[in-house]
Structure 1
Amino acid sequence: MDDFRLRVFYSVARHRSFTKASAELFITQPAVTKHIKALEDMLSLRLFDRKGNTIVLTPPGEVLFRYAGQIFDLYQEALFELNSFKSQQKGSLRLGASTTIAQYLISPLLASYYERYPTIQLSLLTGNTEMIEHAVLAKEIDLGIVEGKKHHAGLKYHDFLEDELVAVVHSKSRYSRLKEITLEELSALPLVLRERGSGTLEVLETALQGRGIRPSNLTVVMHLGSSESIKSFLEHANCLSILSSRAIEKEVRSGELKIVSIKDFRLPRTFSFVHLQGLPEGLAAGFMTFARRYYQQ
């Protein structure tokens, strides 16, 4: 149903590489070049330019890339809807979600999915990002949703939702009077942070290293395994933490927790779908499309 030339273009545009598109689509690099040229000839437009060793999209290429993403999402959604008329729509889908996502995002999504597709059996494995990635690699789950960096060459990552990490204190803490701190002040303040293997900790440490600050220089009093345990700890200790803004929405609204700005320092991150290399198929592909539509509403 879909145009393979457009799929080739979309792969090259996402990776900014003919070689990576070739590996993803299991075709030769000359074949990739041939498909791109055929598409450009058909459109009478140049879609890519080369700048040194880098491939960049032309303005027409940017437009096509945006629409191609929407086309493939709609295509997957159409297949998913059509499969509801066939027995293939029945079955089981094994999902995994890192801790923050499982606690604050996925429950309403799963409930909506169940209401729409009650014949599909869902299961959810929860753990930190590292655990979920290993579960995908071991084929213990079909699809994961994780936070943090992309780690494994054997896994495919697709951007899902944007998030931001923020510094937070309890309103009863002596540090609640703070409105803004510097990175140097952050390093000196007592911190309670997520455990090793969590995407939250990894994003923080990577960003600090980019600013020349070693994670070992932080004053970390404890590592805990969930945002909920950290929030409870903050209630009884004069400490700061770095948590997902999605994890503290209710407490910030109620005044229980307070966000402290860090001068000239932000911690954006992306939640991602993750599956084994290759294009996702069947229920996993349909769930990705359903989830994106759900959070776009």
Structure 2
Amino acid sequence: MDFHQLVVFTKVVEHKSFSKAAEEIFLSQSTVSSHIQSLEKMLNVKLFDRVGRENILTPHGERLYHWAQKLLLMKDEALLDLNQGMTEFRGVIRMAASSVPSQFILPKMVKQFRNEYPAATFNISQFPSRAVADKVLNGSVDFGVLGEKYENEKLEYFPLLKERLVLVTPLELKLKGKVQIQDVISYPFVMRHSDSGTNSIFERFLKKNGLPKDQLNIIAYTDSGQSLIQFVRQGIGISVMSEIAARDYADQNLVNLYSIEGFEEDRYFYLVYNLQKTLPLISRLFVNFATGNKGFHLVDKE
């Protein structure tokens, strides 16, 4: 058993697929299968059961995955300790992010982290906030960045950035001052799907004001913040969205941006990780960079 075999094994576990693991580590599927078969022969145990289209760990496989994570982490820590130039440390950071963080927050985080660790590479997937939390829970990513908390004893959240939600309208629809939500409830709305952080916060605001969501004139739902803003630009509807996302478009005079009266709740974007998952060292360095004293600078200085 060698470290390379353990890396291959952990990738198959995380993807539940020999072919997807092969794609990530740039090997043929037959080579990946050969490594797994060699491990099984050497250990004299079966590591995977084939269930439908997925490869599910056997009890022996679960125990090996536990030890493989620890061994690979120890190897990384040893290499880092021996390497005086820490910036040369290499590794892939696998993360999931919701729409706004992936477009407006992560690029800054990646840039600042790579200033310290230029050999780090990133594998970033975009999902609605709830799906990001699920990906972190099931261990298919190292951590996530999202705009809403979904409480679970396994999840640890760290606030990265505070913001608020705002109303955006097409340029031809001009309103005065702070907007009363009751005054615009009859307008056509474009909404994020129910599993987005933005939607969850807006629904709480509606409930607080005694306004059932079904009173809104909702004409479209979308997973994409970019699609949402294009719907608004085309005059199809108005929307409530992240100020961070809306501000760029408002500054370019592409949409109008308004505060909503009584909508005082601060909204945070969080980094979330699984307390029960042993992170690769490069990912742990990223988490420490985000949550430690050094931290990221996510707001542009004037």
**What is the TM-score when the length of structure 1 is the normalising length?**
0.65
User: Counterpart of 2:214 in 1: which secondary structure?
Assistant: helix
Q: Deviations over 1:63-89 (max 9, x none)?
A: xxxxxxxxxxxxxxxxxx978638894
Task: Give the aligned partner of residue 159 of structure 1.
Answer: 159
Residue of structure 2 aligned with 1:231, choices 220, 229, 232: 229
Paired position in structure 1 for 2:249? 251
d(CA) in 1 for partners of 2:212, 2:169: 22
C-alpha distance in 1, partners of 2:110/2:81? 20
User: C-alpha root-mean-square deviation of aligned residues, in Å?
Assistant: 2.6
Q: Residues 186 and 154 (structure 1 numbering): CA distance in 2 closer, same or farther, change over 3 Å?
A: farther
Judging changes above 3 Å, is the alpha-carbon distance between structure 1 residues 105 and 83 closer, same or farther for their aligned structure 2 residues? farther
**1:32 matched to which residue of 2?**
none
- CA-to-aligned-CA distance 1:137-187 (integer Å, 9 cap, x gap): 121111111111333333221211112110111213xx2244333222232
- Structure 1 residues 266 and 189, CA, compared in 2 at 3 Å: closer, same or farther? farther
CA distance in 2, matches of 1:84, 1:193: 50
Tell me if structure 2 keeps the 8 A contact 1:164–1:244: yes
Q: Are the counterparts in 2 of residues 98 and 127 from structure 1 also a CA contact under 8 Å?
A: yes
Letter in 1 for 2:159: D
Compared CA separation, residues 141 and 234, structure 1 to 2 (3 A)? same
Residue aligning to 2:217: 219
Q: Report if the CA contact (8 A) 2:139-2:277 is conserved.
A: no
* Aligned residue identity for 1:164: R
How far apart in 1 are the matches of 2:85 and 2:223? Answer: 42
Aligned to 1:136: 136
Structure 1: unaligned runs, 5 residues or longer: 1-80
1:94 and 2:102 equivalent?
Answer: no
Does structure 2 retain, via aligned residues, the 8 Å contact 1:168–1:258? yes
What letter matches 2:118 in structure 1? P
1:295 match = 297
Q: Distance in 1 between matches of 2:245 and 2:179?
A: 21
Aligned ranges for residues 17-36 of structure 1 at < 5 Å?
A: none
Look up the match of 1:183. 181
Paired residue secondary structure (2:121): strand
Query: Structure 1 pair 157/181, CA: closer, same or farther in 2 (3 Å)?
Result: same
Q: For the residues of structure 2 that align with 1:196 and 1:264, how far apart are their CA atoms?
A: 22
Could you state the TM-score of these two structures normalised by the residue count of structure 2? 0.64
**Structure 1 contact 149–202 (Cα < 8 Å) conserved:** no
> Given residue 133 of structure 2, which amino acid in structure 1 is its aligned partner?
E
- SS of equivalent residue, structure 1 residue 188: coil
Residue 214 of structure 1 aligns with an amino acid whose one-letter code is: P
What percent of counterpart residues are identical?
A: 20
User: What pairs up with 1:256-267 in 2 under 5 angstroms?
Assistant: 256-267=254-265
1:268 paired residue number: 266
For the residue of structure 1 that corresponds to 2:164, the secondary structure is strand
Could you tell me which runs of 5 or more consecutive residues in structure 2 were left unpaired when the two chains were aligned. 1-79
Task: Verify the 8 A CA contact 2:167 2:260 in the aligned structure 1.
Answer: yes
1:42-69: CA deviation from partner (whole Å, max 9, x where unpaired): xxxxxxxxxxxxxxxxxxxxxxxxxxxx
Distance in 2, Cα, partners of 1:125 & 1:159:
20
* Change in 2 beyond 3 A, CA 1:178/1:238: farther
**Contact kept in structure 1, 2:246 and 2:257, CA below 8 Å:** no
CA–CA separation in structure 2 for the residues paired with 1:254 and 1:208: 30
Q: 8 Å contact 1:168–1:257 — kept in the other structure?
A: yes
The 8 Å contact of residues 148 and 268 in structure 2, kept in 1 or not, is answered as yes
Secondary structure of 1:181's aligned partner: coil
Superposition deviation, residue 278 in structure 1: 5.3
SS in 2 for 1:151: coil
Tell me the distance in 2 between the aligned counterparts of 1:231 and 1:133: 25
The 3-state SS of whatever aligns with 1:239 is coil
Q: Contact conserved, 2:143 with 2:272, CA < 8 A, in 1?
A: yes
| SS of residue paired to 1:100 | helix
Task: Identify the structure with the greater strand proportion.
Answer: 1
Instruction: Give the 3-state SS of the residue equivalent to 2:185 in structure 1.
Output: helix
SS at match of 1:110: helix
**C-alpha contact 1:150 1:157 (8 A) present in aligned 2:** no
Contact 2:108 2:298 in 1 (8 A): no
Residue 264 of structure 1: SS of its match in structure 2?
coil
For residue 137 of structure 1, what is the amino acid of its counterpart? L
In the alignment of these two chains, the number of paired residues is 215
For the residues of structure 2 that align with 1:188 and 1:136, how far apart are their CA atoms? Answer: 38
Q: Which residue identity lines up with residue 153 of structure 1 in the other structure?
A: E
Give SS of 2:184's match: helix
